[in-house]
Structure 1
Amino acid sequence: MRKLLAISLVLLGVLTVPANAEEVTDADVRQLLVVMHMQDNLQVIKSQMINHMIQMADDEAAQRNDFTPEAREKLHRVLLSFFTTVYNKILSWDKIEPVYLEVYKDNYTDDELKGMLQFYSSPAGQAVIRKSPKIVTQILFRMDQEVSPQIPKMQSQLKEMIEKEVTNHN
């Protein structure tokens, strides 16, 4: 019984937040979001998503014999307008900011948030913010170079696995 009480007290001590710990506030998170240029980054993300969707549609249209270059250009303009409208509506800052606030408050302590604010306010932190999109793009491009050549093989293996499973179940 004493062991159970001792373990309970230890766990309680580990799982509770010290009384002097400060709550992360919306204002603190908003300040960090401003320093990190999150609203601007959201615009970049939306643009990348829109371009990706248009590229997918363009690739699909390119495979069709009945799509002239003029028709593809018109499709591009229509899709650009459509996806811009949709993404601006569903990914507006008014809708996304509360998500950031909740997630940051749920995952960072006040001390961590203040440390991040200090770092991202520094020249080195601003360099990280400024260069991260390019770095992520380069990493994704290089990963794609590794994965893309493997896709036909994976598709073939997947088809074989599905056929094998269907045969085994019949």
Structure 2
Amino acid sequence: MARRLHLAALLALAFCAPVAMAAPPSEAQIDRLLEVMRAEQTANALIPQVMASQQQMIMQLTENADPQQREAALRAAASSLRAVESALSWDSLQPIYREIYMETFTAEDTEAMVSFYSSPAGQNLLDKMPLLMQNTMTAVQRLVIPMLQQLERDLRTELESGAAPAAD
């Protein structure tokens, strides 16, 4: 009987140990991680990029419009742009980041990342991350653009051939 209790206690400890080790991070730990990762600066740098992209899209959409139509479209888009700017502000994003990081990482993970991103190597990585992302996007575009061009050619060929609709 004592042996069974001993075995049961060992099993209970074995199953509880991973749970105890996987303690969630505190808000302070997450806030420190976001600070050393420069999350606020990164988010703030994203806003002008998104805004410029939307402006460019609006200009392309109104390229053939007369000046009055273009001006009306720009006025209508201005409120949308302000809403995007507000949605991407750090005040809006910080609670989302905090929640996601708290759900994803343990306290131990968070402390390890704080240590890494606080180090010279971590700061160097953060310094190079924008260039890394730019180079990645360029490489992906080189891969995707030819496929999109081929898709466009295939669609044009299909449309020009006047393919008969499939019979029901």
Structure 1 length-normalised TM:
0.70
**Residues 100-144 of structure 1 deviation map (CA, whole Å, 9 limit, x = unaligned):** 111111111111111100000011101111210121012102221
Q: Cα RMSD between the aligned structures?
A: 3.6
Q: Is residue 22 of structure 1 aligned with residue 23 of structure 2? A: yes
CA contact (8 A) 2:36 2:117 kept: yes
Q: Is residue 57 of structure 1 aligned with residue 58 of structure 2? A: yes
- CA distance in 1 between counterparts of 2:153 and 2:31 reads 48
Q: Which amino acid aligns with 2:129?
A: S
- CA distance in 2 between counterparts of 1:33 and 1:79 reads 35
The change in CA–CA distance for 1:169 and 1:29 in structure 2 (over 3 A counts) is farther
Report which stretch shifted further, 53-62 or 85-94.
53-62
* Equivalent residue number for residue 106 of structure 2: 109
* Equivalent residue number for residue 5 of structure 1: none
* Equivalent residue number for residue 42 of structure 1: 43
CA contact (8 A) 1:119 1:125 kept: yes
The change in CA–CA distance for 1:79 and 1:130 in structure 2 (over 3 A counts) is farther
**Residue in structure 1 matching 2:144, options 142, 147, 162:** 147
Q: Which amino acid aligns with 2:26?
A: T
* Equivalent residue number for residue 34 of structure 2: 33
How many aligned residue pairs are there? 153
Q: Which amino acid aligns with 1:29?
A: I
- CA distance in 2 between counterparts of 1:46 and 1:22 reads 34
CA contact (8 A) 2:23 2:107 kept: yes
- CA distance in 2 between counterparts of 1:60 and 1:110 reads 48
CA contact (8 A) 1:32 1:116 kept: yes
Structure 2 length-normalised TM:
0.71
What is the deviation of 1:157? 3.8
CA contact (8 A) 1:50 1:80 kept: no
SS in 2 for 1:22: coil
